[in-house]
Amino acid sequence: MRILREWLARLGKRPSPEAAAAGPAPPAAEAATLRRLLGGHCIMCAGDLAGHQYTMFASAVLGGPDPAPAEPFFRALEEQRWQDAAAFQEWEGARDNAEAFAIRCPAGGSAVLVMHDPYELDHGATALSYKVLTPESGRALAEVAEGRRWQPL
Ligand SMILES: [Zn+2]
């Protein structure tokens, strides 16, 4: 959504309320943001990102008068309790959001990137954390992410 707002700003237009309510960025823009945050290469295989896939498996709203509800979201991610993290599926176009992405390497590894997706146009998305998972944690995450739509990076 932030990316959509950027595009619209470039066109000299304001996002409509309908656009703000539409949800997270479309996959192509989302993948471009992830590629930028990853520096264009995979830290698991040290190759470029061809053949790599991602899916957003959890998200939480950060902005607003009370950011405390997001704390269990970050705690679950920190402790790699993927099922608990995936219980968070919140997203608001008019607030800052945190989004957790599973990244799958064709060499067999997996990683999690947590992105801060700010509402303000002049603040780009940043990576809050980026961790390579152990095979065991990666398998647990794959189970939680099963059935989700994986997108090419
Ligand atoms: Zn890789």
pLDDT in tens, 35-89: 999 999 999 999 999 999 999 999 999 977 776 778 999 999 999 999 999 999 9
pTM metric for this prediction:
0.81
Taking the centre of ligand 1 as the mean of its atom positions, its distance from the CA of residue 50, in whole angstroms, is: 8
Mean pLDDT value across residues 131-136: 96
**What separation in Å is there between the alpha carbon of 58 and the centre of ligand 1?**
22
The pLDDT of residue 10 is above 70: no
What's the CA-to-centroid distance between 6 and ligand 1, angstroms? 29
Ligand 1 centroid to 10 CA: how many Å?
Answer: 33
Handedness of CA 27, 30, 35, 38 (dihedral sign): negative
Q: To the nearest whole percent, how much of the chain has pLDDT over 70?
A: 82
Q: Using alpha carbons, list the distances in angstroms from residue 47 to 86, 107, 112, 134.
A: 29, 10, 17, 19
Say how far apart CA 97 and CA 1 lie, in whole Å.
10
Is 26's pLDDT higher than 90?
no
Q: Using the mean position of ligand 1's atoms as its centre, give its distance from the Cα of residue 135 in Å.
A: 14
